[in-house]
Amino acid sequence: MPDASRPAASASASPRRSWADTLKVYAEPASLRMLALGFSAGLPLLLVLGTLSFWLRKAGIDRSTIGYMSWVGLAYAFKWVWSPLVDRLPLPVLHGWLGRRRSWLLLAQGLIIGGLLGMAFTDPQQDLNRMVWCALAVAFGSATQDIALDAFRIESANAERQAALAATYQTGYRLAMIWAGAGALWLVAAALQGTTTYVHGAWQLAYGVMAASMLVGVCTVLLSPEPAGRAQTPARNLGEWLREALVAPFVDFVRRYGWQAILILALIGIYRISDVVMGIMANPFYVDMGYSEGEVATVSKVFGVIMTLVGAFIGGVISMRIGVMRVLMLGAVLSAASNLLFAWLSTRGHDLTGLTLVVSADNLAGGIASAAFIAYLSSLTNVQYSATQYALFSSMMMLAPKWLAGFSGAFVDVHGYATFFVGTACLGLPVLLLVALASRIKTTSSA
C-alpha cells in the first residue's frame, strides 16, 4: 500500500530502466483493469458533448444553442463539490459488498445507463428540455464515476507506474470514444439506409446500444479487487467528519505547496483550454462542411482516435523516460498549433484528405498532452485524499474551458470558423509560460 504521507506520484523523471521493463508494465493486471475502466469513463463524455452536438445539428438545432448546451459539461468542472462524499462516505449495502471505490463506481455507472436511455427516448426537436435533463444526469453520473475511478487508479499502483496506468486508461478512454463517436454514427447511418433526412429512431437505436455498452465497466467493477486504500479513523462527530472530508484535503495541498499552489492551479485551469473550446464546435463544423455521418465516423471518430491512442502511448512511455514536465510542454505546443490546421481546413470546403491529415495531427497532439497531464495531476495528490484532491484538479481543468466553450457557437455565427480556430490556438499561448514556471516546482511530501 502506498505511503499516505507522500504524494501519489512524482512529476520528475523516474530512474533509467530497460525498454523491456518499461513496456512490461502495460501487461500487468492493474494496467489491464484501467484499460476496461477507461472505456467506461470515456463512453459518456462524447455522448453528452461531441456526438450529441452532431445529433442536435442534424436535428436542426442552431449553433448558439448547441454551444450553450455544452455547459452540461460543467458537471465535470464542479465534481470537487461532492468528491469528499465519494472519497469518504460509505454507501449502504454496496460498501460492505464491494468496498468504497467500487461501490461508488457501480452507483455512478447505473446513473449513466439510466440517463443514456432517457436521451435515447427523447427527440430534441420535440422536447429539448428533457434532453438537457437527461444529458445532465449522464454528465453527473460520469463525473461521479471519474472521482471514484481516479482514486481507484491512484491507489492501484505505486508512483513509478502511474504514467503507465494513465496511458492504459487513456487507451481505454479513446477506444470508448471511437465507439461513442464512430460507433454511434455508424449505427445511425445503418438505420437511415442512405437517407439524408433526420430520423429520431436512428438516434434512439444508437443511444440504446451505447447504454448497453456501459456493461463493460459494470462487469469490470464487479470482477476487480478493491484497492488497498489508507485506513480511515472514524469521525467522532459531524463537525470532525466535515473538517476531515471537506477542509483537510485542500489545506494539505496548500500547506505542501504554499504560494506555488496558485501557479499549479492556474496551469491546471487552462492547460487544455485550446482543445476543449475548439472541440465543442468540431462536430457542427463537420456537418456544415458537408461531411456525412460515415465520413466523420471513419476519419474523425476512428482514425483520429487511433492517432490519439498512439499519442497516449508515446506520451506515457516518454514521460517515464524523460520526465512528465518535458512532455507536458511538448503537448501544450502541439495542441495549440494543431488548431491552426482546422483554420486551414475551414477554407477547403469538403476535403476528405485534408480532414484526415488535420484530425490525425490534432489527435496525436491531444494524446501526448493527455497522458502527460494525467500523470502530472496524479503527482500532485496525497494518497490520503486522492479522490478529493484529484477531483479538484480535474474539475479546475474543465471549469474555465467549458464556460468559455459555451459561447463558441455564438462566436462562430459572428466571426466564422477560421477566426474561431485561430483564436482557440492563441488561447494556448499562456499555457507555455505556466508549464515553464511549474517545471521549477519540486513535488513536496506531506509531513
Residue 7: beta bridge partners?
382
- Cα angle 384, 371, 404 (rounded to 5 degrees) comes to 90
The span from the CA of 165 to the CA of 37, in Å, is 11
Contacts of residue 242, Cβ cutoff 8 Å, sequence gap at least 6: none
The packing angle between helices 408-415 and 417-426, to 10°, is 130
Residue 147: beta bridge partners?
none
Q: Give the CB-side neighbour count of residue 32, counting CA atoms within 13 A.
A: 7
List alpha helices for 304-351, DSSP H.
Answer: 304-322, 324-345
State whether residue 382 is helix, strand or coil. Answer: strand
DSSP of 192-254, one letter per residue? HTT--S--HHHHHHHHHHHHHHTHHHHHHHHHSPPP-----PPPSSHHHHHIIIIIHHHHHHH
The span from the CA of 368 to the CA of 316, in Å, is 8
The span from the CA of 331 to the CA of 283, in Å, is 23
Q: Which candidate, 21, 42, 305, places its Cα nearest to that of 164?
A: 21
The span from the CA of 416 to the CA of 47, in Å, is 25
Instruction: Find the radius of gyration of the CA atoms of the chain.
Output: 21
The span from the CA of 77 to the CA of 307, in Å, is 27
The span from the CA of 326 to the CA of 308, in Å, is 19
Q: Alpha-carbon torsion 88, 91, 92, 94, what sign? A: negative
Taking CA atoms, 97 is separated from 91, 100, 250, in Å, by 10, 9, 30
For residue 165, count CB atoms less than 10 angstroms from its CB and return exposed for 0-12, middle for 13-18, buried for 19 or more.
buried
To the nearest 5 percent, what fractions of the chain are helix, strand and coil? 80, 0, 20
* Regions of the chain where pLDDT drops below 50: 1-14, 445-447
Q: Nine-digit cell at 423? A: 483564436
Q: Nine-digit cell at 73? A: 459539461
Q: What are phi and psi of 7, to 5 degrees?
A: -60, 160
Q: Give the CB-side neighbour count of residue 98, counting CA atoms within 13 A.
A: 22
pLDDT in tens, 282-322: 888 988 888 887 788 878 767 777 787 788 788 877 777 77
Which pTM does this prediction carry? 0.71
pLDDT at position 205 is: 95
The span from the CA of 44 to the CA of 61, in Å, is 21
Q: What are phi and psi of 107, to 5 degrees?
A: -60, -45
List alpha helices for 25-82, DSSP H.
Answer: 29-48, 50-58, 63-69, 74-77
Task: Give the dihedral of Cα atoms 235, 154, 247, 87; nearest 10 deg.
Answer: -50
DSSP 150: H
